[in-house]
Structure 1
Amino acid sequence: MAHVVVLGAGLGGAIMAYELKDQLRNEDTVTVVTKDPTYHFVPSNPWIAVGWRKREDITVDLAPTMAKRGIDFIPVAAQQVHPKENRVELIDGRSISYDYLVIATGPELAFDEIEGLGPHGGFTQSVCHIDHAEKAEEAFQRLLANPGPVIIGAAQGASCFGPAYEFLFILETALRRAKIRDRVPMTFVTPEPYVGHLGLDGVGDTKGLLESEMRAKHIKWMTSTKVKKVADGQMTVEEVNEDGTTKPEKMLPFAYSMMLPAFRGIKPVSGIEGLSNPRGFTIVDQHQQNPTFRNIFAVGVCVAIPPMGPTAVPCGVPKTGFMIESMVTATAHNIGNLVRGKAADEVGTWNAVCLADFGDGGIAFVAQPQIPPRNVNWSSSGKWVHLAKVGFEKYFMRKLRQGKSEPFYESLALKVLGINKLKDTTKG
């Protein structure tokens, strides 16, 4: 009998537990350890931040669903992973032993790396967590009452740029509907070398599509830009040239700002030689398996992926939903093999299929594989993207509540985008 512990219950962790139950033997057990007893659908946070959704619309109480699937559920945060001892220490003093561990914690948000950044003691908002999104909605209401300049974007070292673009245009739509857009100058600030880079060197014509949208909506942008510090109502930024030289600092006033931070690994898995890299992300091979501790796997944003290449300002590589789903499926299959005495042989597709909602339209893109050069490199825009994102939200929430584990991104892509095949074509 094998005991598999899944650390984390977000997008990767919850689905990981369901897929493991399908892949393991009847005598094997699965335990989920997570600091939060409820699941929050993070892609809907930008809607929360402008009042288009409420907390109850995008949350799932995980305990009943996990129980229905026969999964042990411990809503207690981890204190430390002890890979040499095959156990996870919890903050309440308990220790959970494992035969296999899947790290699916998501990231720690590195607001503290920039003075004044973030919603906790800082002066900018965030849509990374539902608690942040609710605070952002309160600030949005103040903006409606007292319009002024807006700064949206991402800090240096960020790797998740899609939500910044989404929120930029969702906010713009909300301001137009409130009939105060004419009193709200908007600027997008990003470390990307160009608009639409996304940490992926672009996908299809994301550069042209996003620049066109910004021009049409009178949004200014600053690329290759570092955020030096943030004060109440003022952001100090520095643009960096390709050769590394810098332009004079600029002071940007704002009445409202939402800036995504850089990510790093959470403390319980950081600083462990052979397990994590200097930023605390978990090191894995092509099978999602740690090369040093072979009974540890990792999926999702906590996985270490090197950047695409040098940029004037550091940009990370995003871990998109489709990519995470492929990691989860490969990991479940590989652990299923291992408990039966076979070798890990499944490799995630690491493709990207994304729907970026703009409130009344949006941009969709497909990258196969996510890291170029690619076999498929496609992007498109239109009102259908917004409708597809709403439909996906409803579908995924229903899936979580029912405890289902079948892959969903591939079927969504096939139905909505009309793509014949998204699996890795090199596998035969």
Structure 2
Amino acid sequence: MKTQEMIDMRKSVVVLGSSFAGLTAALAVKHELHGDVDVTVVSPGELFVFNPSLIWLPFGKRDRDDISFKVEPTLTEHGVGFEHHAATGLDPQARTVTLDDGRSLSYDYLVIGTGYHNNLDVVPGFRENTQTITALPAAEETALAWTKFLDNPGDIVVGATQGAACFGAAYEFLFNASYHVKKAGLKDRVKITYVTSEPFLGHFGIGGLPHGDQLLGMFLKKEHIEHRTNASVDHFDDGAVVLTDGEKLTYNFSMFVPPFLGQEFLKELPGFADDKGFIPVRDTYQHRDYDDIYAVGIAAQVPVPWHTPTPVGIPKTGFPTEQMAHVAAKNIASQIKGEQPTDTKEFADIKALCVMDAGNNGVIILADKMLPPREHGVLIPGPQAHLMKLGFEKYFMWKMKGGHVTLP
């Protein structure tokens, strides 16, 4: 039987965010310590959204109920508290987080899994003149725009601006758009162009994989899609994107992936985050300067190991995010037990596992390391990729809703 003193000695872990990073970290910490820890999740959103399926939502293949669930019942079932509030402030010295209702939460350990928000001001006119899909509300707006496009078809431009990192989503949307244009019998009336800041096709923000540029080139040629690589967007007009080299591409519909930014309240802390709001971390995913603060997922800063003519980011979503969250959870558990946090996983050494959907086709992307140098890397094209993504969606939603984060 636990005494009051033992209860008072229980450590408190606060997790900011309830998506891939936050939900995984919160449940994993609870699991690592067999429940003997107080964990509270703080999030302005009440839904877990399976973001990889947002590419299907504009085409009517999914809606929000298909790809989301409320996180509070899952957390409650596993003994984790939930504060449906935004964090607006952090005092690392006092070990407190300020919420948007003015309250403060104290912590012994903090996990920052706050994800991203879209930088819709990356270039003039982006916010007003193009669509994006990298958040649920934005994908729903894109669905409305796609419906209007089908009533008034014309040229399509899909792309990723300079500084973007989520190139996989851009490719997936591109090929799904082509697939649905064909299904609607509009292929002869629609020219599709892909515009990307990647130095070559199939770079993906991870340096590319063997023969990836040829494979993506074959996909584009098969779909009669033009492309511009190493492209930098100057601005968007109504119905047109203008590149910095002066080329103007007109469209009846466009979707672009913007860069991601971290949370503003973190950026405002002197020396705590970089100028984009991302947190500098060690290979343990502890903050560079604070042993009791961790950052995982997109919130963590990942140095770009190369220079490209047009800036590109590095994707941190999905599998890498889960891996970071588990490393952080193991290290927090070690610290609570009075041990050193020795679990490490350099971001570059995390395996690359991704399925790129292309309507009724796709590409499976596998590599022994996220970033080069690598020993192994392969892209496997074929319809099995589409089926694999469908199956993985169902499995992952079941896994997260049930709180089974220790499963692969």
TM range (shorter): over 0.9
1:327 aligned residue (324, 328, 336): 324
- Residues 263-282 of structure 1 aligned to structure 2 (within 5 Å): 263-282=260-279
Aligned to 2:63: 54
Q: Secondary structure at the match of 1:55?
A: coil
Give CA-to-partner distance per residue, 1:225-280, whole Å, 9 cap, x none: 11111111011112xxxxxxxxx411110111100111121112113234211221
1:94 aligned residue (88, 103, 110): 103
Report whether the alignment pairs 1:43 with 2:52.
Answer: yes
Q: Which amino acid aligns with 1:32?
A: V
TM-superposed CA distance for 1:209, in Å, is: 1.2
Aligned to 2:4: none
- Residues 194-209 of structure 1 aligned to structure 2 (within 5 Å): 194-209=200-215
TM-score, normalization by structure 2? 0.95
Q: Secondary structure at the match of 1:166?
A: helix
Aligned to 2:404: 404
TM-superposed CA distance for 1:216, in Å, is: 0.7
TM-superposed CA distance for 1:212, in Å, is: 0.6
TM-superposed CA distance for 1:377, in Å, is: 1.2
2:27 aligned residue (14, 18, 21): 18
Count of residue pairs brought into register by the alignment: 396
Q: Which amino acid aligns with 1:335?
A: I
Aligned to 1:422: none
Q: Partners of 1:383 and 1:295 in 2: how far apart?
A: 46
Q: Which amino acid aligns with 1:94?
A: R
2:194 aligned residue (181, 185, 188): 188
Q: Partners of 2:49 and 2:35 in 1: how far apart?
A: 30
1:293 aligned residue (290, 293, 301): 290
Q: Which amino acid aligns with 1:27?
A: D
Aligned to 2:247: 250
Aligned to 1:244: none
Q: Which amino acid aligns with 1:18?
A: L
Q: Partners of 2:283 and 2:255 in 1: how far apart?
A: 35
TM-superposed CA distance for 1:164, in Å, is: 0.3
Q: Would you say the 8 A contact 2:267–2:273 is kept in 1?
A: yes
Q: Partners of 1:374 and 1:214 in 2: how far apart?
A: 26
1:212 aligned residue (183, 208, 218): 218
- Residues 342-353 of structure 1 aligned to structure 2 (within 5 Å): 342-348=339-345, 349-353=349-353
Aligned to 1:241: none
Q: Secondary structure at the match of 1:127?
A: coil
Aligned to 2:233: 227
Q: Secondary structure at the match of 1:225?
A: coil
Q: Which amino acid aligns with 1:216?
A: K
Aligned to 1:236: 242
4+ residue segments displaced more than 6 Å = none
Aligned to 2:174: 168
Q: Which amino acid aligns with 1:354?
A: C
Give CA-to-partner distance per residue, 1:130-187, whole Å, 9 cap, x none: 1111111111111111111111011111111110000000111111111112211001
Q: Which amino acid aligns with 1:371?
A: L
TM-superposed CA distance for 1:393, in Å, is: 0.4
Aligned to 1:360: 360
Q: Which amino acid aligns with 1:225?
A: A
Q: Partners of 1:182 and 1:33 in 2: how far apart?
A: 50
Q: Which amino acid aligns with 1:346?
A: D
TM-superposed CA distance for 1:203, in Å, is: 1.9
TM-superposed CA distance for 1:26, in Å, is: 3.8
TM-score, normalization by structure 1? 0.90
The runs of 5 or more residues in structure 2 that have no matched partner are: 1-9
Aligned to 1:143: 149
Report whether the alignment pairs 1:378 with 2:378.
Answer: yes
Percent of aligned positions that are identical:
36
Q: Which amino acid aligns with 1:155?
A: T
Q: Which amino acid aligns with 2:30?
A: K
Q: Would you say the 8 A contact 1:274–1:293 is kept in 2?
A: no
Q: Partners of 1:69 and 1:152 in 2: how far apart?
A: 42
Aligned to 1:245: none
Give CA-to-partner distance per residue, 1:186-206, whole Å, 9 cap, x none: 011111111111111102322
Report whether the alignment pairs 1:33 with 2:37.
Answer: no
Q: Secondary structure at the match of 2:274?
A: coil
Q: Partners of 1:47 and 1:335 in 2: how far apart?
A: 37
Aligned to 1:116: 125
Q: Partners of 1:267 and 1:172 in 2: how far apart?
A: 37
Q: Secondary structure at the match of 1:187?
A: strand
Q: Partners of 1:369 and 1:102 in 2: how far apart?
A: 25
Q: Partners of 2:24 and 2:190 in 1: how far apart?
A: 41
TM-superposed CA distance for 1:25, in Å, is: 5.1
Q: Partners of 1:377 and 1:141 in 2: how far apart?
A: 38
2:161 aligned residue (140, 155, 161): 155
Q: Partners of 2:318 and 2:272 in 1: how far apart?
A: 23
